[in-house]
Chains A and B, each alone.
Chain A
Amino acid sequence: MAKQEFDGAQALIKTLDDLGIEYIFGYSGGAAIPIFDALETVKTKMKFILVRHEQGAVHMADGYARATGKPAVVLVTSGPGAGNTVTGLMTAQMDSVPMIVLCGQQVTWMLGKDAFQEADIFGITMPVVKHNFLVKVTNDIPKVAREAYHIATTGRPGPVLIDLPKDITQGPFSGNLDPEIDLPGYHPEQAFNIDPLAIDEAIQLIMQSRRPVILAGQGCMIARAGEELLHLAETLHCPVTSTLLGKGIFPETHDLSLGMLGMHGTAYANKAIVEADLILNVGSRFDDRIIGQADKFGASARIIHIDIDPAEMNKMIVPDVQIIGDAKASLKELNKRISRLESDEWLTHLGTYKKKYPLAYRKQGGLRMQQVIDELYNLTNGEAIVSTDVGQHQMWAAQFYRTNAPYKWLSSGGAGTMGFGFPAAIGAQFACPDSLVISISGDGGFQMTLFELATAALHKLPIKIVVLNNHYLGMVRQWQELFFENRESGVDLEGNPDFCKLAGAYGIESFNIKRPADVTRILEKALAYNDGPCLIHAECVKTDNVFPMIPAGAALEDMLTEPPKHKMAKPTGST
């Protein structure tokens, strides 16, 4: 029994504090008032951050989790408040990011009666969360909160939502604050029992390989398997490519690194996959952005797939060996039995590709986004936490801001959520107050969540908010140019504000880059600025294109390394 006289909301806040939650990002509202009140009446170590829109809160929790591996809590009200979390939930679910979202809700006897600000958020969010709860009994609250935390953070992580009717949160609590969780259908501990037969088979394939490639994904990141991965690659002398979300789990400046794979990955990574005789996938779900045409992917290679989620096996690619389990535990098993491969010839061969197809951009003919990112990389020694939005700038950032350490690259991969980057940077800066955090957005995505400038300013977060402005939704425009005979439709962002004045309106310092010659000098000034956030606006070339490019649904060997000279057929794959 609780010693203090708690109501449900107080029991909830106490439980979250006991679970070690550090931050709650949220926005208040009628149905959530009892929970907000408990934040005042229960003494905790948790910090509450009032955002300006619920989507901002979810992306902040997401950025916090990607930078730390720990979940944060999002607290919103019912109806529209809860509804505004859906995009952020989907973003987190697609990229396996842990978080707990608490929604206030109408009183239980009004559910389903179209009461004020009532929405069936339990039903609405089911497909975009790892799990969700609708609490109907006040005394269940601590158990549900503990189960939510357990589900969010173990196995393949993901967002968990708890819907909390107001009568439940303000009802008297007489239960156990530290109950046992009860999840008979959930056994994440199994991920640490690696099938020795699968390891045997994998070792056989690995040790006879002459042209191996390791593909490192988000699963490697989540399992914190960087050390094991480095040992594996260096012992085998095996090159490593990563997915967008795997950036940094293997140092991108390492000799064995091939950089990012996929649609806008490096030419040498894609060519390595095409020519490899072994692909060792550690924790990537073979997303359509990296495999292109599935039946041609790794056609000449044997494929080993390590994944914690059995449902990822055979989903996109049928591997020769499946290792179902935690990436770190799996690599530890493999590492016991490996030795140097005869891969010198292969590495030399890939070296010629690196020389032949370097990532490059022109410094003439106007300011290019690549140059701003490249200079940021140089001036920060590649040590910043970089959060990106979605689109051309994201791909260029992935290419030119090489990531050498894990948990320093925050980007919405699976969902491709515009508006993610800036609030995620805020979450990361709260998580890592002493780190340099750079938010890189385009003018399109930045305007989707720029209202969080207030949150950044209020907390004097020293984020470098980079807005690369080409007055276009550039990635779509690129597609229209290449595949739709340059018919621009719905991509011209005429009417963009003066972003520097906008920053000023929030009391935020700003820097404006107009010419290639100014990039270094202005970035240096901006990086030296240390009185809260600053916005760096760069007026960029309007119609630049990202290369290399593999048209959606095409095979990796059909990669374009430069603008095509002939008319392109419409891509067979989606987006």
Chain B
Amino acid sequence: MAKNTITTTDTPQTQDPTEVLHTLSVYVNNTAGVLMRICQVFARRGFNIDSLVVSQGRDARFSRMTIGIVGNPTGFVQIIKQVTKLIDVIHCFEHSAENSVVKEMLLVKFLAETATQRTDALQIVEHFGGKTVDLTPASMVAMITGDTPKVDAAISMLGQFDIIETVRTGKVVMARGEQPT
């Protein structure tokens, strides 16, 4: 693959200090339209969704959403109440880094065309506890899981290769201890 087709937008940006990253866990009825209802609450109040993971709950009648949002904490408490108010929402909790486990998964595809490159790449991937899930004579796809700083660090280290693309799942969160998520 030619170098000029390589795109990555994962350049870190400086953030507005009043804007805080919030992680919400929303437990909802597993019905059509529920995601739209929730997104409308955020969009109407001008919050942009940073990351979003939706999957069916253990009980198939429900779905679990983990939503990452950057925004001002004052307005945010109100948003949680407005989301909770939706008929299809069972509960909506905000989780802090201290009281919860937050993980995401990264798939990263990069060029590794020589034996040396492949060895170096494998070492980095192994360091981050990841593994290779696709290997061709020219490229590799690595899978790495962890919290956001770890995934960021992995991307940074793999930046010595030509990264073709990255796909991140977005965060999933689970409350620590016996607390419900």
Task: Name the CB-closest residue of B to A311.
Answer: B81
Interface hits, B128-165 → A, CB 8 Å: none
B87:A151 contact, CB within 8 angstroms: yes
| Given known contacts A313-B81, A314-B77, A315-B78, A134 and B32 CB-to-CB distance under 8 angstroms | yes
Q: Do residues A185 and B78 form an inter-chain contact, with CB atoms below 8 A?
A: no
In chain A between 295 and 320, which residues have their CB closer than 8 angstroms to a CB of chain B? 309-311, 313-315
Chain A residues with Cβ under 8 A from B90's Cβ? 184-185
Contact of B28 with A185 in the complex, beta carbons under 8 Å: yes
Q: Are A183 and B87 in contact (CB under 8 A)?
A: yes
Tell me whether B87 and A122 are in contact (CB under 8 A): no
Asked if B32 and A311 sit within 8 Å, CB to CB, the answer is: no
* Residues in chain A near residue B84, CB distance under 8 A: 310-311
Q: How far is the CB of A402 from chain B (nearest CB, A)?
A: 35
Binds B, one of A14-22, A125-133, A331-339, A558-566: A125-133
A313 vs B84: C-alpha distance when bound (angstroms): 13
Q: Does B54 contact A (CB under 8 A)?
A: no
Interface flag for B117 (CB, 8 Å):
no
Contact of A310 with B81 in the complex, beta carbons under 8 Å: yes
B37 to chain A, nearest CB (A): 6
Task: A186 to B36: give the CA distance in the assembly, Å.
Answer: 18
Interface size class of A (residues with CB under 8 A): 10 to 19
A185–B29 contact, CB under 8 A? yes
* Beta-carbon contact of A184 and B29 below 8 Å: yes
B50: min CB distance to chain A, Å: 22
Asked, given contacts A122-B33, A126-B36, A127-B40, whether A186 binds B78 with beta carbons under 8 Å apart, the answer is no
Within 8 A of A (CB), among B77-121: 77-78, 81-82, 84-91
B127 touches A (CB below 8 Å): no
Q: Does B44 touch A at the CB level, under 8 Å?
A: yes
Given the interface contacts A311-B81, A311-B82, does A126 sit within 8 Å of B87 by beta carbon? no
Complex alpha-carbon distance, A205 and B61, angstroms: 46
Quick one: which of B33, B61, B89 contacts A123, CB cutoff 8 A? Answer: B33
Assess whether A185 is in contact with B87, with CB atoms less than 8 Å apart. Answer: yes
B90 to chain A: closest residue by CB = A185
Complexed CA–CA distance, A315 and B78 (Å): 7
Complex interface: chain B residues within 8 A of A185 (CB)? 28-29, 86-91
Interface size class of B (residues with CB under 8 A): 20 to 34
Instruction: Output the least CB separation between A267 and chain B (Å).
Output: 32
CA distance A426 to B9 in the complex (A): 59
Interface of B is mostly: mixed
Query: A311 and B44: CB pair below 8 A?
Result: no
Closest chain-A Cβ to B119's Cβ sits at a distance in Å of: 51
A129 to chain B, nearest CB (A): 10
Picked from A126, A186, A310, the residue with its CB within 8 Å of the CB of B37 is A126
User: Which residues of B lie under 8 Å from residue A122 when comparing CB positions?
Assistant: 33
- In Å, the complex CA distance between A526 and B82 comes to 48
Q: Give bound CA distance, A122 to B82, whole Å.
A: 20
CA distance A309 to B85 in the complex (A): 8
Give chain B residues whose Cβ lies under 8 Å from the Cβ of A183. Answer: 87
Bound CA span A151–B40, Å: 20
Cβ contacts under 8 Å, B61 to chain A: 184
B residues in contact with A151, CB < 8 Å: 87
Interface bits A125-167 vs B (CB < 8 Å: 1, else 0): 0110011101000000000000000010000000000000000
Q: Are A311 and B88 in contact (CB under 8 A)?
A: no
Is the CB–CB distance between B85 and A310 below 8 Å? yes
Contact A131 B85 (CB under 8 A): no
Are B87 and A186 interface neighbours, CB within 8 A?
yes
Question: Which residues of the partner chain B approach A131 to less than 8 Å between Cβ atoms?
Answer: 86-88
Q: Mark A165-195, 1 if CB is under 8 A from B, else 0.
A: 0000000000000000001111000000000
5 closest Cβ contacts across the A-B interface? A311-B81, A131-B87, A185-B90, A311-B82, A186-B87
Q: Which residues of A contact B (CB under 8 A)?
A: 122-123, 126-127, 130-132, 134, 151, 183-186, 309-311, 313-315
**Interface CB pairs A-B, < 8 A, 6:** A134-B32, A185-B88, A310-B81, A311-B82, A314-B77, A315-B78
With A184-B62, A311-B82, A311-B85 known, 10 other A-B pairs at CB within 8 A are A123-B33, A123-B36, A126-B36, A126-B37, A131-B86, A134-B32, A185-B87, A185-B89, A185-B90, A310-B84
